[in-house]
Amino acid sequence: MSIYLVFENEIHDEAAYERYKAAVKPMVEAAGGEYLTRDGKIDVLVGDWHPKRVVIFRWPSQEALDAFLSSEEYQPWKQLRESVTTTKTLIRVEGIEHGG
C-alpha cells in the first residue's frame, strides 16, 4: 500500500536547504520514493491554513519509507534539514491501491 507524506516546513537557511534538496532527491528516488510536489504554488480553497511551502511524497510502502529514514546515507542530511528548517506539519496517509 502506498504511503503519502505531507510536510509543511519553514526554511531558515535557504542556501543550506538548497544543498539538502539537491543531495536528497536522488536518494529518495533510489529508495523508491517520489516527490509529487515541492515548492509549488499553494491555494487554500477552504479553511484557515496558510502554508508557505508544502512537500508531498509518495512511497511504495511503509517499509520503504522506514528504510530510507533510517538509512546511514540519509542521517547527515536529516540533521542538516532539522537544523535549517522548522517542520510545522507532518502527516502520513495510507493510499488506496489502483482499482480499489
At 77, phi and psi to the nearest 5?
-75, -35
Q: Kindly tell me if the per-residue pLDDT of 68 is higher than 90.
A: yes
- Answer whether 88's CB lies under 8 Å from 8's CB: yes
pLDDT at 99: 59
pLDDT category of residue 39 using cuts at 50, 70 and 90: confident
- Average pLDDT across the chain, whole number: 92
What domains can you pick out in the chain, each with its CATH number?
3-94 (3.30.70.100)
| Alpha-carbon span 26 to 40, nearest angstrom | 19
pLDDT at 95: 87
| Alpha-carbon span 99 to 90, nearest angstrom | 27
| Alpha-carbon span 50 to 8, nearest angstrom | 10
Kindly give, in sequence order, each residue whose CB lies less than 8 Å from that of residue 93, ignoring residues fewer than 6 positions away: 3, 4, 5, 6
pLDDT category of residue 98 using cuts at 50, 70 and 90: low
